[in-house]
Amino acid sequence: MSTTLTPAKIPPSQHEFADVIHRLEAGGSMLPDTPENLMQIIGIYKAYAVPMDFYWRDLLYIAERVFLDPFPAFKYFLPQEYLDLHNHYAGDDADLRIWRGEATAHPELLAFMEKGETFKGSKLFHHLWHDRINMEFAEACMRAMLWHQGMGGRFYDYLEDPEYIANADRAIKAYFKGNPLMLGLYKLFPNMFYEKVRELSYYANLGLFWEVMAPVFFEMSDIYDEGGFKGVPDAMQFLVNGIFAIAGRPIYHHVYIRGECYEIIPKSKGFTWLYEAALPYVEAVFYRTAPFRGTKSYNAQAQQVPAEQKDFHYGILYADVFPVGSAGIPPTLLMQDMLHFLPQYLIDYYQKYCRGEDDILIQLGITFQRSMYNVTSAVIQALRTALLYPLDDPNPKHLMKNRQFFEMQMDRFKRPEARLRDIQNQEYR
Amino acid sequence: MLTALILVPIIGAILIGFLPTPEGSNLPRKAALAIAIGLFFYSFWLLTQLDLSQSGVQFTEYLTWAKPIGLNYTLGVDGLALPLVVLNGLLTWVAIYSTREKIHRPRLYYSLVLLVNAGVTGAFVAQNLLLFILFYELELIPVYFLIAIWGGAKSQYAATKFLLYTAVSGILILAAFLGIAWLCGASSFDLATISTEDLSQKSQLILLSLLLVGFGIKIPLVPLHTWQPDAYVESAPSVAILLGGILAKLGVYGLLRFGLELFPETWHLVSPGLAITGSVTVIYGALSAIAQKDIKRMVAYSSIGHMGYILVAAAASTELSVLGGVAQAISHGLILALLFELVGIVEDKVGTRELDVLNGLMNPVRGLPLVSALLITAGMASAGIPGLVGFAAEFLVFQGSFSIFPICTLLCIFASGLTAVYFVILLNRTCFGKLDNKLAYYPRVVRSEQIPALVLTAIIMVLGIHPTWLVRWIEPTTDAIAQSFHKPKIVAISQPNLIASFGSDLDR
């Protein structure tokens, strides 16, 4: 256990989550530091990273190549070019080598794409049978980012900028060159096309975000397998270090039309990974999102849905994972995707509890929830590092500022739907 | 042939009682299951051998037993008795199968279940009044022990209440039978030798009243029903299946066989009162079910309501209504057994039957999705949704009774709407909604636990889609019963007049 005790320079917190706050002040995570938790979160990071390797490639493929195809029936049919696309954070030619593995698509992903759960068959069969990586979850995350927008950063503002509109206009006209019907529609309803391009810019944004996260999770899994992590705080610290190492990675949106690159959001705009992708992603997907179809019956007129978007609380940190398994719910699809790539030690672990294999989707969903509390802890610690003071700062006033920051973050988990209370208990499965 | 249906379970019960049961042995259960399944298939085979061109008693067996008192071993079945015997075989198998494997005192338990089967079958096939009462009383003792030993917290109270009520029922029926034989001057208690035609109407009225109260307790009818909710709720689910699915049908059988057949004219005289009692029972059962917070108690009250339909049908005594009444008895047996089976699984897995606690069982992974789906099917069948056996039976009852007792029939139709109300309440609270994350760590329902419910559901659906397979066995006998009435003597009494006449009676 690498967690150190808080120096008693400030009085104990009186917050409802005082224990968690003290743990954060000691450099720990919101998730209790137990070997069981460590094993669960690392196992699920690995299982998440493999489909994520598909998600980021396909998100970029849709943003860059499918673009405004009016009938994008085959947008989930990833071409070989994108499977071979080199991840910038893995492989020998990496910009920054986070994972020691290959830069191309992960071997387990390729094996699954070929055979699926059933048998080796045509891509169309696997697609229609849903025996595939479910991009629907990735698109739900993208839409959450698009819809919530306005969560800080400059990316969202830029999507309304005349420069962006001019860039989009060039790309739209090039894409529909020789198609009078679509060009006519564009003339009649230009805003509809711009809005679609804005959505595609968020495809690119999320794709570039996950391009980083996949090798981070693969590397964490490898380090754990080698006996590298001693506890949950170590895993969290790895994430914090990763966040700072990649914070400046550019976020852009390029479109390739007939061999020519159209820079809708050029790299030169200076949008960076931490502020324009990572933080909005955590806010939109971990905290807010929207009630997923089928998981919650809500009535906006009865004020069951918050009036303000910032008060939405349907993300994974609040999610009721138990309805997972219902058809068509995006989290179900994610759990299904992760199920295919669980490490054996996690499968063995799930077999021992609850209904074993029968409710493995929910068990791994709750593990995923635990792991995302750890990722959120890393983000909170990273923000504290960037904006406030070191945890071992000798000045009690600075420590009190840190305390206030942590308490403010924990306030968001006071509402009854938050699972922070649940994950403190190992029996929450 | 019929003797086998009685002797095999009795001998089986005795043998199981002496079986060696080393630790962990399932031998008594396996033996009881084998006997029950054998009895079911044998009775079903007999059903296929039934000559449908005849309405009378078939497969008769006769043995002089105690001639001086008129007790003979006279057995026989017709379209009224044999389908109920088959139902008895099926539900005995279901009850045994759905009993938890690690039950305490297994030898005694399975022996008693087989004795109940033998007693009920004996009562259905007995063609001698004393023999009937002998079997009728025979099942009383094992059922008492089944409730008292393997029941819930108040099982002693419920068992004693059941015993007292049913003993009174037996005494009244015995008194009626003795009166019938003595007043008619019959040489024996054999049903075939008894004719009540020469009895005065007053005597007939007294004897029929005794039978009505006696069998009314067994069914049970309002206001003789108070033993039933306690007995059903405090019993283990498997025993509740026997109680509601089969034992209550003894009351229905007795009413039709001894009330309707022996006293047709007097039956017509009291039929308006019976129809009113039936419709009050139906409405009372439905409204009481709506008020319940315990799903087992809700099912128990729903059972009371559904038995009321049979009384209305029997009171109308048209060909269609009597046919519908018997079909309803069988349909009710199947549906109630399914409901108790499912409620038992829910209680076993979730640990409660409280509507306020249960929620979200339809959850596909952590809930009990198949059990919930079957519960919905059972609720639909009970509410008379087309395509399920409940609809076929209730439709026959309504269609057959409407011309004779239109208002009572309309009340029954209204009550079938109330059935939908309480089942929607039950299903909405139990199956739908959000699964409570703090509680929802229920063990899974394994396939073997689902088999009885799946079998019952399949039968309910098949007979609902093709009700001919249900009514074809019953129809010749019920047609004969209905035709035996002297139609010209039937005086159609309009409901307002009837109520007015009852009112004036009360005034007096």
CB distance A358–B443 less than 8 Å? no
Closest CA to A204 of A161, A244, A146: A146
Average pLDDT rounded to a whole number, residues A88-114: 94
In contact, B288 and B300? CB cutoff 8 Å: no
Q: How many CB atoms neighbour CB B101 within 10 A?
A: 9
pLDDT at A328: 55
Look at residue B287 and tell me whether its pLDDT is greater than 70.
yes
pLDDT at A4: 47
CB distance B437–A422 less than 8 Å? yes
Tokens standing for residue A1: 């256990």
In contact, A345 and A301? CB cutoff 8 Å: no
Smallest Cβ–Cβ distance between B364 and the set A320, A326, A422 belongs to: A326
Q: Tell me, yes or no, whether A40 lies in a domain.
A: yes
- Taking contacts as CB-CB distances below 8 angstroms, the residues of chain B near A422 are 437
Q: Tell me, yes or no, whether A392 lies in a domain.
A: yes
Q: How many CB atoms neighbour CB A64 within 10 A?
A: 21
A147/A290 Cα distance (integer angstroms): 9
Smallest Cβ–Cβ distance between A362 and the set B360, B366, B444 belongs to: B366
Phi and psi at residue A71, to the nearest 5°: -125, 75
Average pLDDT rounded to a whole number, residues B490-508: 41
CB distance A322–B444 less than 8 Å? no
B392/B5 Cα distance (integer angstroms): 29
Look at residue A184 and tell me whether its pLDDT is greater than 70.
yes
Tokens standing for residue A25: 């002040």
Q: Cα–Cα distances in Å, from A201 out to A156, A177, A183, A208?
A: 10, 21, 21, 11
- Taking contacts as CB-CB distances below 8 angstroms, the residues of chain B near A358 are 365, 444
Q: Is B410 on the interface with A (CB under 8 A)?
A: no
Tokens standing for residue B5: 């249906």
Q: State percent of chain B over pLDDT 90.
A: 69
Q: How many CB atoms neighbour CB B291 within 10 A?
A: 11
- Taking contacts as CB-CB distances below 8 angstroms, the residues of chain A near B373 are none
- Taking contacts as CB-CB distances below 8 angstroms, the residues of chain B near A428 are 437
B366: confidence class by pLDDT, cuts 50, 70, 90: confident
Give the best residue of B349, B350, B359, B366 to mutate against chain A (max A CB count within 10 A): B366
Tokens standing for residue A86: 């080199």
- Taking contacts as CB-CB distances below 8 angstroms, the residues of chain A near B363 are 322-323, 325-326
Q: State percent of chain A over pLDDT 90.
A: 78
Q: Please give the distance of CA A209 from its chain centroid, rounded to a whole number.
A: 8
Q: What are the respective helix, strand and coil percentages of chain A, to the nearest 5? A: 55, 5, 40
B140/B476 Cα distance (integer angstroms): 31
- Taking contacts as CB-CB distances below 8 angstroms, the residues of chain B near A326 are 363-364
pLDDT at B323: 95
Average pLDDT rounded to a whole number, residues A41-58: 97
pLDDT at B363: 85
- Kindly report the nearest CA distance between residue A231 and chain B, in angstroms: 27
A346/A175 Cα distance (integer angstroms): 47
What is the interface pTM, i.e. ipTM, of the complex? Answer: 0.74
Question: CA-nearest residue of chain B to A366?
Answer: B437
Look at residue A28 and tell me whether its pLDDT is greater than 80.
yes
Average pLDDT rounded to a whole number, residues A1-13: 64
- Kindly report the nearest CA distance between residue A297 and chain B, in angstroms: 9
Q: How many CB atoms neighbour CB A128 within 10 A?
A: 10
Neighbouring C-alpha atoms within 13 Å toward the C-beta of B138: 23
Smallest Cβ–Cβ distance between A325 and the set B364, B441, B443 belongs to: B364
Amino acid at the residue B94: V
Q: State percent of chain B over pLDDT 70.
A: 95
- Kindly report the nearest CA distance between residue B360 and chain A, in angstroms: 9
- Kindly report the nearest CA distance between residue B390 and chain A, in angstroms: 31
Q: Tell me, yes or no, whether A10 lies in a domain.
A: no
Residues belonging to chain A with any Cβ–Cβ distance to chain B shorter than 8 Å: 320, 322-326, 354-355, 358-359, 361-362, 422, 428-429
Q: Cα–Cα distances in Å, from A28 out to A181, A403, A413, B45, B119?
A: 58, 14, 17, 73, 71
A297: confidence class by pLDDT, cuts 50, 70, 90: low
Q: How many CB atoms neighbour CB B179 within 10 A?
A: 16
pLDDT (tens digit per residue) in B430-473: 888 778 777 788 888 888 899 999 999 999 999 999 999 999 99
pLDDT (tens digit per residue) in B328-343: 999 999 999 999 999 9
pLDDT at B298: 93
Size of chain B, expressed as the number of residues it contains: 508
pLDDT at B438: 77
pLDDT at B191: 87
List, in sequence order, the alpha helices (H) in B50-105: 81-97
Q: Is B360 on the interface with A (CB under 8 A)?
A: yes
Smallest Cβ–Cβ distance between B440 and the set A322, A324, A325 belongs to: A322
CA angle B50, B88, B38 (to 5 degrees): 75
Q: Is B361 on the interface with A (CB under 8 A)?
A: no
Closest CA to B225 of B307, B343, B344, B327: B307
pLDDT at B276: 96
pLDDT at B499: 40
> Coil, helix or strand for B58?
strand
pLDDT at B127: 94
Domain limits for position A190? 18-423
Look at residue B486 and tell me whether its pLDDT is greater than 60.
no
pLDDT at A325: 62
B104: confidence class by pLDDT, cuts 50, 70, 90: confident
Q: Is B89 on the interface with A (CB under 8 A)?
A: no
Average pLDDT rounded to a whole number, residues A306-335: 78
B26: confidence class by pLDDT, cuts 50, 70, 90: confident
CB distance A361–B365 less than 8 Å? yes
pTM of the shown model: 0.83
Q: Tell me, yes or no, whether A54 lies in a domain.
A: yes
pLDDT (tens digit per residue) in B180-238: 988 888 888 888 888 888 888 899 999 999 999 999 999 999 899 999 999 999 999 99
Please give the full DSSP string across B177-193, using - where no structure is assigned.
Answer: HHHHHHHHT-SSSBGGG
Tokens standing for residue A149: 């927008």
Question: CA-nearest residue of chain A to B443?
Answer: A355
Question: CA-nearest residue of chain B to A365?
Answer: B365
Please give the full DSSP string across A134-153, using - where no structure is assigned.
Answer: -HHHHHHHHHHHHHH--SSS
Q: Tell me, yes or no, whether A8 lies in a domain.
A: no
B121/B43 Cα distance (integer angstroms): 10
pLDDT at B197: 81
Smallest Cβ–Cβ distance between A358 and the set B360, B435, B444 belongs to: B444
For chain A, the first-to-last Cα distance in angstroms comes to 23
Average pLDDT score, chain A: 91
Q: Tell me, yes or no, whether A251 lies in a domain.
A: yes
Average pLDDT rounded to a whole number, residues B279-297: 94
Q: What is the DSSP letter of B294?
A: B
* Choice between B355 and A210, residue whose per-residue pLDDT is larger: A210
- Provide the domain count of chain A: 1
Q: Is B362 on the interface with A (CB under 8 A)?
A: no
pLDDT (tens digit per residue) in A241-292: 999 999 999 999 999 999 999 999 999 999 999 999 999 999 999 999 877 6
pLDDT at A330: 66
- Taking contacts as CB-CB distances below 8 angstroms, the residues of chain B near A320 are 434, 437
pLDDT at A121: 82
Element at A225 (helix H, strand E): helix A190-225
pLDDT at B505: 42
Q: Tell me, yes or no, whether A12 lies in a domain.
A: no
Q: What are the respective helix, strand and coil percentages of chain B, to the nearest 5? A: 75, 5, 25
Question: Any idea which of A5-14, A236-245, B189-198, B268-277 has the lowest mean pLDDT?
Answer: A5-14
Average pLDDT rounded to a whole number, residues A6-15: 79
A295: confidence class by pLDDT, cuts 50, 70, 90: low
Query: Number of H helices and number of E strands within chain A?
Result: 18, 2
Look at residue B385 and tell me whether its pLDDT is greater than 80.
yes
Average pLDDT score, chain B: 89
- Taking contacts as CB-CB distances below 8 angstroms, the residues of chain A near B361 are none
Tokens standing for residue B8: 């095999």
Interior/surface letters B351-384, b for 16+ CB within 10 angstroms, e for the rest: eebebeebbbbbbbbbbbbbbbbbbbbbbbbbbb
B503/B499 Cα distance (integer angstroms): 6
In contact, B16 and B32? CB cutoff 8 Å: yes
Q: Tell me, yes or no, whether A67 lies in a domain.
A: yes
Residues with Cβ within 8 Å of residue B108, at least 6 apart in sequence: B17, B145, B149
pLDDT (tens digit per residue) in A198-237: 999 999 999 999 999 999 999 999 999 999 999 999 999 9
Q: A–B: how many Cβ contacts below 8 A?
A: 37
B494: confidence class by pLDDT, cuts 50, 70, 90: very low
A303: confidence class by pLDDT, cuts 50, 70, 90: confident
Closest CA to B381 of B415, B338, B325: B338
